[in-house]
Amino acid sequence: MFRKLVVSLLVLASLATNGSPSIAQDSPKEADYYAITSLPIPDGVVLEPGGLTLLPEGQLAACSRRGDIYLVSNPLGKPEEMKFSLFASGLHEPLGLTHRDGWLYATQRGEVTRLKDVNQDGRADVFETFANGWGLSGDYHEYAFGSDFDPDGNLWVVLCLTGSFSSEVKYRGWCLRITPEGRVLPTCSGLRSPGGVGMNAAGDMFYTDNQGPWNGACSLKHLKPGKFVGHPGGNRWYEATDALGPRPADPQSGSRMMTEAKKISQLEPPAVYFPYQKMGQSAAGIACDTTGGKFGVFQNQLFVGDQTHSTVMRVYLEQVQGHYQGACFPFRQGFSSGAVALHMTPQGSLFVGCTGRGWGSRGGKEYALERLDWTGQTPFEVHEMRARPDGFELTFTQPVDPQTAAEVKSYELSTYTYIYQANYGSPEVDGTKPMIVKAEVAPDHRRVRITVDRLQPGHVHELHLNGVRSAEGLPLLHKEAYYTLNYLPAAS
């Protein structure tokens, strides 16, 4: 009887402050906060979305791995109000779609093509080569992913290696920028098997790379012009351009990423690792929340798809010693197929293009097009995780219970890294168990500073917060955080 009375009082208190019932105290669910809507792909249409963009007229454009582009009317409405129409066919596995000045730009395997409907009948009737300059051997894995336009009007194209292992034709394993005039600028080397490319809120470009040779685990990497991002297979093409300067020295197989980064000045380490299986196993598309709160409280953070696990992950980034690094968190599972293409709309909807063909994924469907919307309820989550010289500062989306948040036993920390090697992938190695010696709760109850004995630069720091509760008694929706600590900030 007493327990029922307490629960009733909690619900009434929530109604008084929020106007709606509180989430179940013992089992909050992702769907309570972010709802998935499946768009009704018509029977007979095989749509495996590789790129998505919302057009000024309000239609959603989706390009398919099979070479088609479809337009979806009223994509932000109810499924029964949506209509699909074919805009173009005959492209070569497009994996990037954006628009500018009445043109659609599709990144396909061999070029960036721009398309326009001149006679306004709903079908593209002008196809133009906007840019090319990279090679094709016919290998299955020679994917080309394209970005939105950056603040300078450039498109960025990331090219998969031949077979995901070597570079048999020009610029495979490179990032290229396409200027507003269509000129191709070699920008970064060292890519292996990209799964997507996108910007953060500052306009800096990132891509996801997948576990394999010279990639111990999937990761998010900063495409800083002139940098080498880890896989030496494509470095033979330094002989074709002087845009990046001298060819980097080859890394030593069997070493560690940060060991080699100290020796090779051009080597830019991954900003964030996605620990294999724990966070997914096929990192894919990237979207940034620049909606000003329409998608919830994660303004300016990145969202990254995982194709195999059919999930969307969340990433917080900061700059330390001039390099991006940060933490990844689980965010939303349950998509109908592998999450490949992500597109955030100004209205605060995240569209997710899903495909499983040839790769396999959770969810059960070969393909799907889905929309993720914030329900208006804010989950209790770690909002940001910042590195400090002696530990981490955590911010939360809601006030914490100061008693549980101040208990050292509410947290568990472990670290590990990966072998930087020519062999495929890596287990977690060099593991440590640093001691958390103090947890200090800020007066606003939204920040906690944890002091750690023996941080491990060059390691992923895996933090579990099983004991932390919100001021209302809720557990964290996701209790895990994974911070890639490449560099330590200077003591203030």
pLDDT digits (tens, 9 = 90+) for 345-402: 999 999 999 999 877 899 989 999 999 999 999 999 999 999 999 999 999 999 999 9
pLDDT at 5 over 90: no
Average pLDDT of the residues in 176-205: 98
Q: Does residue 344 register a pLDDT over 50?
A: yes
Q: Is 373 exposed, middle or buried (0-12, 13-18, 19+ CB in 10 A)?
A: middle
DSSP 31: G
Q: By C-alpha distance, which of 386, 391, 387, 385 is closest to 454?
A: 391
- Domain-embedded: residue 22: no
Q: What integer pLDDT is reported at residue 91 of this predicted model?
A: 97
**Residue 90 CA to its chain's centroid (Å):** 29
Q: Report whether pLDDT(421) > 80.
A: yes
Residues 365, 391, single domain; the answer is: no
Q: What gap in Å lies between CA 33 and CA 376, rounded to an integer?
A: 7
Which residues, at least 6 apart from 303, have a Cβ–Cβ distance to it below 8 Å? 286, 287, 288, 289, 312, 313, 314, 315, 331, 342, 344, 350
What is the 3-class SS of 208-269, one letter each residue?
Answer: EECCEECECCEEEEECCCCCECCCHHHHHHHHHCCCCCCCCCCCCCCEEHHHHHHHCCCECC
Amino acid at 180: P
pLDDT in tens, 291-302: 999 999 999 999
Choosing from 354, 374, 394, the residue where a domain stops is: 374
Residues in the chain, how many?
Answer: 492
| pLDDT given for residue 359 in this prediction | 76
Rounded Cα distance, 398 and 384, in Å: 12
Which percentage of the chain shows pLDDT scores above 70? Answer: 95
428, pLDDT greater than 80: yes
- Supply angle C-alpha 247, 251, 255, rounded to 5: 165
Evaluate whether residue 11 is within a structural domain: no
Last residue of a domain, one of 374, 395, 419: 374
447 with 481, same domain? yes
Quote the pLDDT of residue 17: 37
Question: 3-class SS at 472?
Answer: coil
**3 inside domain:** no
Q: Are residues 59 and 135 in the same domain?
A: yes
Asked whether residue 412 falls in the same domain as residue 481, the answer is yes
User: For residue 470, what is the domain's CATH number?
Assistant: 2.60.40.1220
Q: Are residues 284 and 387 in the same domain?
A: no
Token pair of 168, please? 């048999």
Q: What is the CATH number of the domain that holds 307?
A: 2.120.10.30
- Find the domain containing 337 and state its range: 32-374
Please report whether residue 209 resides in a domain: yes
pLDDT at 12: 36
| Averaged pLDDT score across all residues of the chain | 94
At residue 54, the pLDDT reads: 98
Q: What DSSP state is assigned to residue 290?
A: -
Q: What is the mean pLDDT of residues 426-438?
A: 98
Task: Tell me, yes or no, whether 241 and 390 share the same domain.
Answer: no
How many domains are contained in the chain? 2
d(CA 172, CA 191): 8
* pLDDT band with cut points at 50, 70 and 90 for residue 14: very low
- C-alpha 418 chain-centroid distance: 20
Q: Binning pLDDT at 50, 70 and 90, where does residue 211 land? A: very high
* Predicted local distance difference test score (pLDDT) of residue 26: 64
Is 481 domain-assigned? Answer: yes
Tell me the pLDDT band of 21, cut-offs 50, 70 and 90: very low
pLDDT at 164: 79
Q: What is the mean pLDDT of residues 97-116?
A: 97
Residue-level pLDDT at 163? 83
Q: What is the pTM of this model?
A: 0.94
Q: pLDDT class for 24, splitting at 50, 70, 90? A: low
Cβ contacts of 19 within 8 Å, gap of 6 or more: none
Evaluate whether residue 127 is within a structural domain: yes
Question: Is residue 436 scored above 60 in pLDDT?
Answer: yes
pLDDT at position 8: 36
Strand partners, 326: 317
Cα–Cα separations (whole angstroms), residue 262 to 234, 249, 322, 359, 486: 21, 12, 14, 36, 11
User: What is the per-residue burial (b if ≥16 Cβ within 10 Å, else e) of 330-361?
Assistant: bbbbbbbbbbbbbbbbeebbbbbbbbbeeeeb
- What residue type is 213 in one-letter code? P
State whether 121 and 69 are in the same domain: yes
Segment 298-327, tens digit of pLDDT: 999 999 999 999 999 999 999 999 999 999
pLDDT band at 447 (very low <50, low <70, confident <90, very high): very high
Neighbours of 433 (CB within 10 A): 9
**Mean of pLDDT values over 113-119:** 97
* Residue 299 placed within a domain: yes
Boundary of a domain, candidates 331, 351, 374: 374
**429 C-beta neighbours (distance < 10 Å), count:** 12
